[in-house]
Amino acid sequence: MVNKLSVEQVKGEVLRFWNAFTDKSASQLMEFYAPESTVFSSVSNRSEPGRLAAARRQREYFHAKSSLRATVGNIDVILLGDGAAAIASYTFQFHASKVATTTAGLASEEDIRNGRASHVFALDADGKVRIMHEHLSAIEKG
């Protein structure tokens, strides 16, 4: 059982998160989120529970016709307190094609060229690394 996070471990969790997302692994993505986690997505104006966000992503992005691609920039990690929690902040690029939308089921494109992300990771009672909070945003260039 791990009782303290390391910078390299947190960086690895960020990469593992994006790999699960782009690999369309619903079960792996769901496992990242603590039951009490919150998420601000890049397109939402309010937070939602982490596992609900994972379920929404599965519905919108994880069907057979969609295509996902993500690139992560330099990851900065701050270990908190006794090392049982950490904040990872980084930039990312994300592109999704044929995203399922709620408007008449039409597919759309999503292209985030200047994304910013913050993840708060913490160890749960079993020593598993979980996301407690996630905030994704995009810089609009114009």
Delineate the domains of the chain, giving CATH numbers in brackets.
7-138 (3.10.450.50)
Read off the pLDDT band of 114 (50, 70, 90): very high
User: Residue 139 has what pLDDT?
Assistant: 85
User: Residue 42 has what pLDDT?
Assistant: 77
User: Residue 15 has what pLDDT?
Assistant: 98
Which of the two residues, 117 and 103, has the higher pLDDT score? 117
Mean pLDDT of 93-99: 91
DSSP, collapsed to helix, strand or coil, labels residue 114 as strand
Question: Residue 77: phi, psi to the nearest 5?
Answer: -125, 135
> What secondary structure, in 3-state letters, does 44-88 show?
CCCCEEHHHHHHHHHHHHCCCCCEEEEEECCCEEEEECCCCEEEE
> Does pLDDT of 38 surpass 90?
yes
Instruction: Kindly provide the b/e burial profile for residues 89-123, where b requires at least 16 CB atoms within 10 angstroms of the residue's own CB.
Output: bbebebebebbeeeeeeeeeebebeebbbebbbbb
Distance CA(47)–CA(41), nearest Å, equals 7
Q: Give CA separation, 98 vs 54, 90, 105, 124, in Å.
A: 18, 26, 10, 35
